[in-house]
Structures are given as structure tokens and as C-alpha cells.
Structure 1
Amino acid sequence: MEYIPVRVSDIIRQVNRDIYLPAIQREFVWGTDRIERLFDSIMADFPIGSFLYWKLEQKNKDEWPIYEFIRDFDGESSHNPLANMAGITRDVTLVLDGQQRITSLLIGLKGSYRYFYYRWRQTSLYLNLLKPPTPNEDNPEELTYGFAFRESGDPSGKAPQLWYPVGRILDFEDAEDAKADMKSKLAELPEDLRDNANRLIGRLHNRIHTTLVGNYYQEKSQDYDKVLQVFVRANSAGQPLEYSDLLLATATAKWETLDARKEIHEFTDSLNDIGTGYGFGKDFVLKACLYLTEDLPIQYRVKNFSRSNLRKIEENWGDIKEALTTTVRLISRFGFNSKNVVAPLALLPIALYLLKRGNRTFDMSSKVEDAEAQIAIRQWFIFSTLKNAFGGSSDTTLNRLRELLKDAGPDTPFPADDLYKSLEIEPRLTDAEIERILTYRYQGRYTNLVLSLLYPDRDWKDAVFHEDHIFPQSEFQIRLLKRRGYAESKVQSYIAKYNLLANLQLLTESENLSKNATPFEEWIKTRDASFQRRHLIPEMTSYVFDAFDEFYEKRKDSIVKALQRLT
């Protein structure tokens, strides 16, 4: 095996011109901290690993989908663009191992990184020329140099700062020219800071333009199955290659008429755009592909990703998309969203039932038999989720349910009783289960789901609902409670209860913004009787803060009665 040394500038010059990505590659996942650490390693002369390339001969370049590296990363849309190979009459190089590092180099030197932290931030990579190298032997994860993704080069804080756009170093073939470019900005600095800045500019230029930072090996086989094996083995270290990545890679290699990567990514995005939005990943869609294709094993095992199995999925792809889309539209109508679909696998038996019915508009149907099936599906989804029926051995559970649904047809009622029996659960909540539910806390795993069940007649369509403390949480601070003159026992009682289910409700976005931290005794005066009924607000002579314990116990009783009616 011949490894060829390479410089960073060589890589940057070739990216999206000579070097591309095969469709079997997963997407870019590094955060800004990993990119900063990569550049820090290069500056500090640490090894950054070797690269594995695949030379795809010109005659075969139209056989496989080819993608570009991301130059400007956007946290809202991070898919790699499809490369335009029209007019390219030469061999091309595809990266089998090293995508994360090469993309990071491209973003740091020629691109940008947009991410959300309290708000959306459009950032570029900078180096603080006034920060001396500070290696930390006790914590090698800390940066030696002052690399940082920033929205601008404006200084912040008290430490000496002169933020240099890292990509600017590409503009100069000679390090002295790069230093001369900054001469006017360095002129008024003290000598020690000026010397530090010039050393860093020179070092950065050397590490980008001159130093051989790594090596690459080029695989030349045109046998795609062999290349797939090489890819899997090369990616078994570092960030693990998940089974879903392997399935997607293999499907991309073996689907005959469709681009699996493009189809699955675009379809996942379309599912997540339904209603007020969901957070399904490719893992869920790929699992559904196995589950909704007849006679296929559903476990994520390499042996299940055979050519014949993947071809069956491709043939069934249209029906899979229809069944999943109808299912997600249906649960959206029921008020389920990204916050309360806590067991996505519970959707798969529903999707299989709808696939067997073959009615793509089932979620919008008002026929009596369809309406009855819709009600049964909603209740089954609720109880199977609340009772954690898909925890533990979920594949075994899913297989049992698939067997029960295999003979369903266009007129088959939803077999809720058989499904409950198979899951060994009852379509009601026991006293013990309700007691446990009452201990659910603000923004807990199941809290939003349970809250949504308290509003059976609410219109959920295209509305965003927020979990809200009825008595504002800002008032439940020990120092404030003691200032009210409460005894220690009452202070502890308030602290123990304010974050639990009986003090929580679901408000629309506008309601929540208008309420904000307004004391409940004031805000409830602005609401009508229907609001109080809808939110199970108990009748009381006063809603002052001193009455919180009484309110809590009465609303808890109302919630218990509402949950007992869920049958």
C-alpha cells in the first residue's frame, strides 16, 4: 500500500474540483469545537490521521451518485449538494475516509458555520494573533492556540485580541507577504505582541502551504462491493458507523433506479415538515423500510442488508412513503408532535396497518368505519407509549405485532384488542400508573404527552403549544418563599410541587407570551370560564399564591379523573 503525503493547501485546491464524496458517505456532523481542535492540532504539529481515497475511472463516473463537500455549513439544512459531473472527462477521486476532516478544513479556510445558540449565528474561523501558545499538559483537549468561530473579528472581553480570518492565509504564497499584509494593524502594538502575531502568521502559513500534514492511500478497484467493504472497515474507528449508516450506504450501492441517499434524506425532511414539525431521523425511516416490506427481517444486522432485500425495499419505496406520511399526518391531527412522540417505533404498526388498507387519505376520511379506526389508533398509540411497551426488546415486540397485522385488508377494523393482548397491556391506566404519572416533571420525557391527553377536544392543527407553569416558576425560589414568612415545611412543600404535572398546562404560543411571569391570581381574571374548564382549573374562592397547596391538590384530583376516563 502506497501512502502519498499531502498538504492542506493541496486538499483545499482539489476539493469539489478533483475530490468529491461518494453517496455511501454519511453527512457532516462535526461541531465548531471539533473543527477548532483540528486546526489547533495542525498548528501544534499533532498528527491528523491519513485519508482514504477511491479513484473512480471516468467511464464509471455516471454509474454512482457523487456529492460535493459542504463549504458553508447551515445547521438548518446540512445536506451535501449533488455534484454536477456534466462535462468532466477525467477520472475523479472520492473520499472514503476523511470526510469530516476535509470538510472541516474547507469550512475553516473558505467557508462558514451557521448554528443555533439562543439565536442563529453565522460564523467564520478566526485565530487570535495576540494569544501566545499555551499548551495544557493536564488537559490535552484544551486548545494551544486561539482558534474560535466568531461572527466577526471585533474584540470582546479584556484579554489582548486581534482576530485574524484563518482563510486569509490562502491569499499569500509567501509567509512574508502575509505578515506584510498585517503590518499596519500591528504597528502600534507593543513589541512582544507584535512578535507573537508575526510568529503565528508565519506558523499558520507554513502549516497550510508547506507542511505535509497527512497521507492518503488511493483505492483503485472499480468493484463497488469491494469499495463498500473498504468503506465500512475504514469507518469502524473514530465515530462509529451505525447500522443505519451501513444500510443507507448499501442501499445507495445496490438500488437500481433510485438514489437511496437522496430519496431517504428528502423523505425524512418531508416527514419532519408535517404539522408543527417532528424530529425523525434516517434511522427511523430505514427501520420502517425493513418493517413495512413483507418478509424482511427487521433487525439491524449486516447479513440482513443483502442485495435481494434492498431491491425489495426499493420496489416497495412508494408504498412505504405513503404509509408513513399518512401515519404522521394522522398523529399530527391527534395533537402529537416532536415533543410528545417519545416512542417513534410505536408508529410502525400503525403505518403497516394503513399500508395494508391502501387508503392514502385515511387521515382525512370521515367515514364511520374510518373514524372508529382513527379513535382506536389514537388510544392504542397513547397507551402503548405511556406503558413503555416499546422499551427493551423492541424488535421482538414489533415482530409480534407485524405477524398480527399481516392479513389486514382494506376493510379490516384496527385490531386494537389483539395488539393490546400481544403487548400484555390494558387500555386503561391503573391507580398505580396514574400515581406515577402525577410525579412527571416540567419538560420530562412523557410530560408533554400526558398534558396533551387532558385536552381531548382541542384543535391541534398547525398550532404550537408550550408547557407552562400555572403558578409561575419565578416565584418558587427559597429566598422569595422565606421572604413571604412561610414556615420551613411550607417552603419545602411549594418547592416539591411547583414543577410537577398538577401545576403545568399547555398554552398556545401567544397565550404563553402574554402570560409570561404574571401572577396567576391576576392572569386568571383575564380568562373566561371555558378557559378554566379546558385547563382543568379548579373552582376556588381565591387564586392567591398563599393558596397554592389547595390549588395543587384540587387540580391533581381533576387530572386523576381525566386520566381515569381514558378508556
Structure 2
Amino acid sequence: MAYFNTTIKDLISERIGRNTFLPAIQREYVWNPAQVEKLFDSIMCGYPISSFLFWKIREEKKKDWTSYEFIKDFDQEKPHNKEANLDGVNQDIYLVLDGQQRITSINIALRGSYRFFYRKWRTTRLYLNLLWDKGDDNPEEMTYQFLFKEDETPLQRTDYPQLWYRVGDILNYDDAEDAKDSIENQLNAFDEEAKKKARKMISKLFSVVNVSQNINYYEEKSDDYDKVLEIFIRTNTGGQKLEYSDILLSTATAKWRNLNAREEINEFTDEINKIGTGYNFGKDFVMKGAMYLTENLPIQYKLSSFTKKNLECIEDHWDETKDAIANSIKLVSRYGFTDKNLVARLVLLPVAQYLRGKNKGYLTSSNLKDVEDQNNIQKWIIMMLLKGVLGSATDNKLNSMRPVVKLATDYFPYVELCRELKIEMTFNDMEIENMLNYSYGTKYSYLILSLLYPGRDWKDKKYNEDHIYPQNEFKIKNLRAKGYDDATIEKYQACYNSILNLELLDDSENKSKNAKPFDSWLKDRDANFKERHHIPEMNDYSLDYFLDFIKKRKALLTKQIKEFILQ
């Protein structure tokens, strides 16, 4: 491979978007503003920023590979790269195999913007404080003050001198003196020492961007895709971790025949994340699902799995795969599984496999058999999540579930799956004790509370975790005001926030209850309220008898969870 040098200005102005692009095997941009600021601090300090690897492709071969544009204006809501149009590029092209995060960062900093959310959505550009003096007190801080900020927005701090210069403006000048002249009017308000510092700073910025040949890159000229892929994998094992799903996505993009894999998978991931109250599924889940749902394909992320034949097989079944995954998410979202409590997402794959064989009306069916079947899917997922079944050796377990689900047609095979996985379909005493100790609002609390309502209609209903005895009553100052001693306060504090003092109420009930004392609110409830929410029979439900309530309710909840069954 040949070795070359160039300046940042030439790279950004003469190459990016003209003859230098990104290959489909590259991941998307993931750096945050602080990483970009640190990169420019290193550049200003003259530190090496590592070399780059470009893949040179002859002009006549340029359309053999899908290429993407570098991002100039980055938006966290829309982070995807656009496919490059090479029709007007009449020369050899270069695809960046190593260094796309750094090059994209430089491109954003010098030619574009970075939109991100911090309390509100902000569209920012990179600025340099020309008057910054780091001093010697803090050797760990950056030497220069680079900052992504909104244009014309002054910073609140005034304990140090500020003269903010938009870094990208340095590209407008061919001479350092012209760059210094451009800020003269802004220097009028400062003394001579500050003016000297600002001129020196902008001269340094001009030098590192426009003059110094600090971009060092190698060229790979091979037409052998497998060789290039191997180089790509090896050069991307450091820095931002390269997941095998990224390799699969990248390889699929190059080897699918009719569809653009990158666009298909990105769009589908965005689509399923909008289901229900919103999720945060990643490409890793989608690609694992594609491998699981494509019959006879290995599930494991191994390079040997990414053959042309296998990837084309995924493409052939892609529409079917999308429908199955989306339907599994739609189903569980209707049962109250959220991004927070769906703690092992791969549990959805056997459900997706089962739904793949169901008719389109299954999800909305009111047929008794279908409703019972869906209720059992809900209960099976709860059990799998609470028992942590997919916490380890996940691929082996998914592999063992595949043939079991394949044989099922009339009902979801929860009994057969539990038998295959060697898990009991009940909870033992230790498991129940651990569950009852979980606190309000944790990732398992909603799932545990769901066990307490076996006959409830869950579909499309919103239920809220609620403190039976309002949590406001358990503030230490409020307990002391009622005359409780420290030992009693400690006991109250230990259990008021646990499952033992929680219930699931619908929206209207939750709003009406608000923070009313439980004994007064209970008087207005319907005749079945106590049985429905496992409230023990007591003569007095005032706060004085809270520990009695907890003891008796624990017995009721233990009994209910032990009776939890899949029908």
C-alpha cells in the first residue's frame, strides 16, 4: 500500500464529496461533540491523530460498490448517511476504510453543524476561543478551548476573556495575514496583549488546517472484496467497538442483489422504534432477528456465516422477516411491555417466528382461542424475563427453541419451550422472596406486578405503578411528625417502596387516588377492589397498621405468584 500526506483543507475541500466517499461496510457516525472538540485540540497541539486507510477504485469499477456521502450537517434525530451519486464523478474514487469517524468530525467542524439534544434541541457549530489561556493549574484539561455552540449565542461565564471564532471560516483564506485581518474589527475592545494572543491563535489555526500536511493515509488498490473486508475488520477492532452486526449489515449492503440493505435495515429499525410508546431497538437486534427467522441459517455472529448465499437468503425473506418482527413488537407493546421492562429483547424472536405463520387478523382477533394464546405469550415472556433465561448462552438457547416453534401451528408452544430450556413454569420460594423485594419503577417491577392480575384485560390499556399507601407519607419528617420512633421509621422506610406496597391502577383510578391516605380512599372503592388488588382484610387501614398490612399482603402475593400458571 502506498503512503501519502495532505492538508486538512485539501482533504475537506478537494476530496470529500468529490472523489472520496464511504463504503457500505462502514458504520454510521457515532462521535459526540466532546470527542470532536478533543480531536481539534490534538490537531492544534500538533499531536498525531493516527493514519487513515483509503481504498482506491478505478473509475470503470466505481459503480460496482455502493458508496455513501460523508455527513456535513449531523442531526442526532436523523443520523443516516445518504447514498452517493457518482454519475458526475469522472475519475478514480476512494472509499475510506479506516478513519471515517475522524474525517466526518473534521467535515462537520469545518463545513457543517452538529444538532443534538441537551435540555432542548440545539444546532451548533464548532468555535475556538481566540483569547483562551489554559494556565498551568489543570494539566488534564484541553490546551485550547474548542466548543460546539449555537451561532451568536454568548456563554454565560464571564470569568475569562472570550472571542469566539467559527473554526470553519479559516477555510476562506489562502494567507494567514488575511485570516488575521478578518478579526481586526472584533479586537478593538481588547488590550494589546489580548490582540497579540488572538492573532497568534488564528495564525496557528490557519497553519494546522491549511498548511500542515497532518493527514497521513495509505491507499489499498485491491479489487478483491474479501481481502478489503478483512482489512476493514482488522483496522476497526480498536476505538469505537466494531460489532459483528455492523459487519453483517455492511457485508449485506455489498452483497444483496436488489435491495439496499443499509437503507432497508436503518429504516426498519427506525420504524419499529416508533411502535407503542417507543423503543430503542438497534441494528444488532434486527440483524440477529433476520438470521434467526431465515430458516437453516446459523444464528451466531461468525464471519463464516456471512456468505453470499446466506446473505441473499436473508434478502429473499426480508419482507417476511420485517412483518414477523414488527408484529411481535406490536403484540407485546399492547400488553404493557415497554423499552424499560423488555430487558432481554431476544425473547421476542420465538414469538416473531410463531407469528410468521399466523394470519393478518391474529393480532386484533377477539376469538377466545386467539385471546388465550396471546395471554399465554404474555405470561411466557414475563416468566422468561423474570427468570433471566436469556442472560447467557443466548445463541444456544435460541437455536434450541427454533425447531420447537417450527412445529407449532395451533398454539404458542410455551410448555414445549420451557421443557426444552429446562425451566420450571412456576416460581420457587427464593425467587418469590427476591421478586417481592424489588422497588417501585425498576425494570422488573411492572413485570412482577403483572403476575398479580391473571384475569386482567391488558390489550391497549395503560396501567400505572401506584403506591397503595402514598409515598409522601413515608418522608422521614412526616413520620416523625406523627410521633413514630426511629426503629419504626426504619421499618416503614424499608418496605414502603417495595412490591408489597404497590399495585397497578388504570389512568382514571390513578388520577383519582392521587396522594390520598389509603384508609380514606379505600372507603369509596367498589366491592371487588380488595380482591382484585390483593388487599388483606383488616379492621384498620390507617398508617399506624402499615407493618401489619405489609405482613398480610406478603402472604397474599406469595400465594398468588405460586398459583401463576400458563393455561
Q: Counterpart of 1:364 in 2: which secondary structure? A: coil
Q: CA RMSD in A?
A: 3.2
> Residue 452 and residue 214 in structure 1: after superposition, are their counterparts in 2 closer, same or farther (change >3 A)?
farther
> Equivalences for 1:36-75 in 2 at 5 Å?
36-75=37-76
Q: Are the aligned partners of 1:224 and 1:253 in contact in 2 as well (CA < 8 Å)?
A: no
Q: What is the aligned partner in structure 2 of residue 365 from structure 1?
A: 365
Measure the CA separation in 1 of the matches of 2:266 and 2:511.
35
Measure the CA separation in 2 of the matches of 1:129 and 1:482.
57
Q: What is the aligned partner in structure 2 of residue 283 from structure 1?
A: 284
| Alpha-carbon offset, residue 424 of structure 1 | 1.7
Measure the CA separation in 2 of the matches of 1:173 and 1:417.
74
Measure the CA separation in 2 of the matches of 1:131 and 1:304.
53
Q: Are the aligned partners of 1:323 and 1:360 in contact in 2 as well (CA < 8 Å)?
A: no
1:193 aligns with 2:194: yes
Q: Show CA shifts across 1:308-341 (max 9, x none).
A: 2222222222221121122111112222121111
Deviates more, 1:240-249 or 1:55-64: 55-64
Q: Are the aligned partners of 1:24 and 1:250 in contact in 2 as well (CA < 8 Å)?
A: yes
Q: Show CA shifts across 1:483-541 (max 9, x none).
A: 665422233223323442334456778998998xx744399859963696676677878
Measure the CA separation in 2 of the matches of 1:65 and 1:458.
49
Q: What is the aligned partner in structure 2 of residue 179 from structure 1?
A: 180
Q: Are the aligned partners of 1:276 and 1:462 in contact in 2 as well (CA < 8 Å)?
A: no
1:337 aligns with 2:335: no
Measure the CA separation in 2 of the matches of 1:267 and 1:421.
34
Q: What is the aligned partner in structure 2 of residue 245 from structure 1?
A: 246
Letter in 2 for 1:390: L
> Residue 90 and residue 342 in structure 1: after superposition, are their counterparts in 2 closer, same or farther (change >3 A)?
same
Q: Counterpart of 1:362 in 2: which secondary structure? A: coil
Measure the CA separation in 1 of the matches of 2:124 and 2:539.
55
Q: What is the aligned partner in structure 1 of residue 407 from structure 2?
A: 407
> Equivalences for 1:96-175 in 2 at 5 Å?
96-134=97-135, 139=140, 142-152=141-151, 153-160=153-160, 161-175=162-176
> Residue 543 and residue 291 in structure 1: after superposition, are their counterparts in 2 closer, same or farther (change >3 A)?
same
Deviates more, 1:185-194 or 1:419-428: 185-194
Measure the CA separation in 2 of the matches of 1:511 and 1:132.
60
Measure the CA separation in 1 of the matches of 2:207 and 2:19.
24
Q: Are the aligned partners of 2:470 and 2:517 in contact in 1 as well (CA < 8 Å)?
A: no
Q: Are the aligned partners of 1:5 and 1:216 in contact in 2 as well (CA < 8 Å)?
A: yes
Letter in 1 for 2:434: R
> Residue 512 and residue 157 in structure 1: after superposition, are their counterparts in 2 closer, same or farther (change >3 A)?
farther
Q: Show CA shifts across 1:117-156 (max 9, x none).
A: 34433332222222214478864xx312112222353021
| Alpha-carbon offset, residue 382 of structure 1 | 1.4
Letter in 2 for 1:146: Q
Q: List alignment gaps of at least 5 residues for structure 2.
A: none
Measure the CA separation in 1 of the matches of 2:38 and 2:82.
26
Q: Are the aligned partners of 1:135 and 1:143 in contact in 2 as well (CA < 8 Å)?
A: no
Q: Are the aligned partners of 1:129 and 1:162 in contact in 2 as well (CA < 8 Å)?
A: yes
Deviates more, 1:113-122 or 1:547-556: 547-556
> Residue 528 and residue 24 in structure 1: after superposition, are their counterparts in 2 closer, same or farther (change >3 A)?
farther
Deviates more, 1:441-450 or 1:262-271: 441-450
Q: Are the aligned partners of 2:534 and 2:556 in contact in 1 as well (CA < 8 Å)?
A: yes
> Residue 202 and residue 440 in structure 1: after superposition, are their counterparts in 2 closer, same or farther (change >3 A)?
same
Q: Are the aligned partners of 2:66 and 2:254 in contact in 1 as well (CA < 8 Å)?
A: no
Measure the CA separation in 2 of the matches of 1:205 and 1:485.
72
Q: What is the aligned partner in structure 2 of residue 440 from structure 1?
A: 438
> Residue 556 and residue 30 in structure 1: after superposition, are their counterparts in 2 closer, same or farther (change >3 A)?
farther
| Alpha-carbon offset, residue 348 of structure 1 | 1.2
Letter in 2 for 1:323: A
Measure the CA separation in 2 of the matches of 1:125 and 1:34.
12
Q: Counterpart of 1:290 in 2: which secondary structure? A: helix
Q: Show CA shifts across 1:288-327 (max 9, x none).
A: 1221122222111112222222222222222211211221
Letter in 2 for 1:366: S
Q: What is the aligned partner in structure 2 of residue 80 from structure 1?
A: 81
Q: What is the aligned partner in structure 1 of residue 306 from structure 2?
A: 305
Measure the CA separation in 2 of the matches of 1:116 and 1:553.
46
Q: Are the aligned partners of 1:293 and 1:313 in contact in 2 as well (CA < 8 Å)?
A: yes
Q: Counterpart of 2:96 in 1: which secondary structure? A: strand
| Alpha-carbon offset, residue 112 of structure 1 | 2.2
Match of 1:430 among 418, 425, 428: 428
| Alpha-carbon offset, residue 475 of structure 1 | 6.6
Q: What is the aligned partner in structure 1 of residue 414 from structure 2?
A: 416
Measure the CA separation in 2 of the matches of 1:309 and 1:270.
25
Q: Show CA shifts across 1:359-383 (max 9, x none).
A: 3442223334433322222221111
Q: Counterpart of 2:390 in 1: which secondary structure? A: coil
Measure the CA separation in 2 of the matches of 1:201 and 1:508.
62
State the identity as a percent.
47
Q: Show CA shifts across 1:545-567 (max 9, x none).
A: 66654555565555445534431
> Residue 201 and residue 554 in structure 1: after superposition, are their counterparts in 2 closer, same or farther (change >3 A)?
farther
Measure the CA separation in 2 of the matches of 1:427 and 1:441.
24
Letter in 1 for 2:417: L
Q: Show CA shifts across 1:17-48 (max 9, x none).
A: 32211111111111111111101100111111
Q: What is the aligned partner in structure 1 of residue 232 from structure 2?
A: 231
Q: Show CA shifts across 1:236-266 (max 9, x none).
A: 2222321111111221222222222111111
Q: Counterpart of 1:239 in 2: which secondary structure? A: coil
Measure the CA separation in 2 of the matches of 1:169 and 1:217.
27
Deviates more, 1:275-284 or 1:152-161: 152-161
Q: Are the aligned partners of 2:432 and 2:561 in contact in 1 as well (CA < 8 Å)?
A: yes
Letter in 1 for 2:398: L
> Residue 230 and residue 353 in structure 1: after superposition, are their counterparts in 2 closer, same or farther (change >3 A)?
same
> Equivalences for 1:517-528 in 2 at 5 Å?
519-521=515-517, 525=521
Letter in 2 for 1:391: G
Q: Are the aligned partners of 1:521 and 1:542 in contact in 2 as well (CA < 8 Å)?
A: no
Q: List alignment gaps of at least 5 residues for structure 1.
A: none
Q: Are the aligned partners of 2:469 and 2:518 in contact in 1 as well (CA < 8 Å)?
A: no
Q: Are the aligned partners of 1:520 and 1:543 in contact in 2 as well (CA < 8 Å)?
A: no
Q: What is the aligned partner in structure 1 of residue 492 from structure 2?
A: 494
Measure the CA separation in 2 of the matches of 1:25 and 1:505.
48
Q: TM-score, normalised by structure 2?
A: 0.88
Deviates more, 1:476-485 or 1:383-392: 476-485
Q: What is the aligned partner in structure 1 of residue 95 from structure 2?
A: 94
Measure the CA separation in 2 of the matches of 1:472 and 1:184.
63
Q: Show CA shifts across 1:209-232 (max 9, x none).
A: 112222111222233222222211
Q: What is the aligned partner in structure 1 of residue 219 from structure 2?
A: 218
Q: Show CA shifts across 1:55-78 (max 9, x none).
A: 233323333322112222222221
| Alpha-carbon offset, residue 52 of structure 1 | 1.0
Measure the CA separation in 1 of the matches of 2:131 and 2:507.
46
Q: Counterpart of 2:317 in 1: which secondary structure? A: helix
Q: Counterpart of 2:262 in 1: which secondary structure? A: helix
Deviates more, 1:180-189 or 1:254-263: 180-189
Q: What is the aligned partner in structure 2 of residue 389 from structure 1?
A: 389
Measure the CA separation in 2 of the matches of 1:167 and 1:454.
60
Letter in 2 for 1:423: L
Q: Are the aligned partners of 1:50 and 1:98 in contact in 2 as well (CA < 8 Å)?
A: yes
Q: Are the aligned partners of 1:43 and 1:204 in contact in 2 as well (CA < 8 Å)?
A: yes
Q: Counterpart of 2:70 in 1: which secondary structure? A: coil
> Equivalences for 1:22-41 in 2 at 5 Å?
22-41=23-42
Q: Counterpart of 2:215 in 1: which secondary structure? A: strand
Q: What is the aligned partner in structure 1 of residue 297 from structure 2?
A: 296
Q: Number of aligned pairs?
A: 559
Match of 2:525 among 509, 526, 529: 529
Measure the CA separation in 2 of the matches of 1:176 and 1:498.
70
